[in-house]
């Protein structure tokens, strides 16, 4: 059995419906994250447990993080027909599914080896089309020559090292005139990320979205101005 299959096989998954604007998206996902982490450390990691391995392989990709809902709401409210969209650290990829439902040409990416298999099941469940590419911001991108009108990510600023990597990746793949949306539940590194983006020459706006699972959504534009509505 491959590592990806082993990582997915024993996870406690449920299916639920996420309502995003006028969309209803069914997702197979982890409901009890602590139980999933226990399964992962007991049955999958075993003696290979180290902090680095834990961070890379732990099943965060399969849980529904609140910032993803806020980002998906932003996506669902934006006309995206034919627009090239890149999601970073997508996990369950609710924003990518919402973008695909709005007609975007979506590439969803994540470093976790089991993301693709769960995403494939969720795309089939919803009759949607999203291209997946395994992409770790610490390494080579699998689509070096492309740029995207929208680059987006949710809840990817939870360690000190992630902000600079995410910003470098946005800077590299955001098309001239494009817009980046970064949603975050308000983690400690959010303000540093916004300050770094300003220092890099982006115009940065911050909104708070979602009455229940409130999250911050940063909008980054290159100073030349955006081609998409806010
Ligand atoms: C907290 S989860 C958020 C998942 C999803 N964006 C959401 O909001 O529901 C963080 C995600 O970032 C991914 N990730 C972390 N470090 C990464 C890296 N260096 N390159 C690509 N993805 C990464 C993880 O695999 C995980 O899926």
pLDDT tens per residue across span 53-80 = 778 888 999 999 999 999 999 999 999 9
Q: CA Rg, the chain, in Å?
A: 17
Domain membership flag for residue 227 = no
Same domain? For 129 and 110 the reply is yes
Whether 229 is covered by a domain: the verdict is: no
**Are residues 95 and 23 located together in one domain of the fold?**
no
Is 230 among the domain residues?
no
The reply to whether 205 falls in a domain is yes
CATH (domain of 119): 3.40.50.150
Backbone φ, ψ for residue 100 (5° rounding): -65, -40
Same domain (yes/no): 181, 164: yes
Residues 50 and 10 reside in one and the same domain: yes
- Residue 100: name the closest of 118, 120, 119, 83 by CA: 83
Identify whether the C-beta of residue 8 lies closer than 8 Å to the C-beta of residue 117: yes
Q: Dihedral angle at the C-alpha atoms of 141, 143, 147, 151, nearest 10 degrees?
A: -60
CA of 78 to the centre of ligand 1 (A): 23
Tell me, yes or no, whether 155 and 73 share the same domain: yes
Nearest CA to ligand 1 atom 9: 65
85 and 195 part of one domain: yes
- Asked, for residue 127, whether it belongs to a domain, the answer is yes
Q: Which pLDDT belongs to residue 70?
A: 94
For residue 158, report the distance from its CA to the centre of ligand 1, in Å. 9
137 Cβ inside 6 Å of ligand 1:
yes
- Look at residue 43 and tell me if it is in a domain: yes
Domain count, the chain: 2
Q: Which two tokens stand for residue 217?
A: 């959504």
- From 60, 78, 98, give the residue that closes a domain: 60
Same domain, 78 and 39: no
**Element spanning 117, H or E:** helix 115-126
Predicted structure pTM score: 0.94
Between CA 134 and CA 116 the distance in angstroms is 8
Q: Are residues 50 and 72 in the same domain?
A: no
**Residue 86: strand pairing partners:** 107, 151
Is 136 a pocket residue for ligand 1 (Cβ < 6 Å)?
yes
**Domain of 17?**
3-60
Task: Tell how far the Cα of 62 is from the centroid of ligand 1, in angstroms.
Answer: 10
Give the ligand 1 atom nearest the CA of 87: 6
Domain shared by 44 and 97, yes or no = no
**Which regions in the chain score pLDDT beneath 50?**
225-226
Which of 60, 87, 103 is the endpoint of a domain? 60
Q: Which atom of ligand 1 is nearest to the CA of 135?
A: 21
d(CA 27, CA 121): 9
* Claim to verify: residue 145 and residue 185 sit in the same structural domain: yes
Domain assignment of residue 228, yes or no: no
How much is the pLDDT for 226? 46
CA distances from 117 to 44, 112, 155, 166 (A): 17, 10, 21, 24
Residue 71 Cβ inside 6 Å of ligand 1? The answer reads: no
Do 15 and 80 share a domain, yes or no?
no
Q: Tens digits of per-residue pLDDT, 112-130?
A: 999 999 999 999 999 999 9
């Amino acid at each position: 059995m491959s590592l990806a299959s082993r990582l997915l096989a024993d996870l406690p998954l449920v299916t639920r419906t996420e309502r995003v604007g006028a969309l209803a998206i069914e997702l197979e996902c982890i409901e009890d994250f602590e139980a999933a982490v226990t399964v992962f450390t007991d049955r999958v990691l075993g003696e290979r447990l180290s902090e680095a391995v834990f961070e890379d392989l732990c099943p965060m990709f399969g849980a529904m993080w609140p910032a993803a809902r806020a980002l998906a709401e932003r996506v669902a409210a934006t006309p995206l027909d034919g627009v090239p969209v890149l999601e970073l650290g997508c996990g369950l990829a609710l924003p990518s599914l919402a973008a695909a439902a709005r007609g975007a040409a979506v590439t969803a990416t994540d470093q976790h080896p089991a993301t693709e298999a769960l995403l494939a099941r969720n795309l089939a469940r919803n009759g949607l089309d999203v291209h997946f590419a395994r992409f770790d911001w610490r390494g080579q991108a699998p689509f070096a020559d492309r740029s995207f009108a929208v680059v987006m990510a949710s809840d990817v600023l939870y360690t000190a090292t992630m902000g600079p990597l995410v910003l470098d990746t946005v800077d590299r793949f955001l098309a001239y005139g494009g817009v980046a949306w970064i949603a975050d539940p308000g983690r400690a590194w959010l303000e540093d990320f916004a300050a770094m983006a300003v220092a890099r020459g982006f115009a940065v706006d911050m909104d708070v979205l979602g009455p229940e699972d409130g999250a911050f959504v940063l909008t980054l534009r290159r100073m030349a101005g955006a081609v998409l509505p806010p």
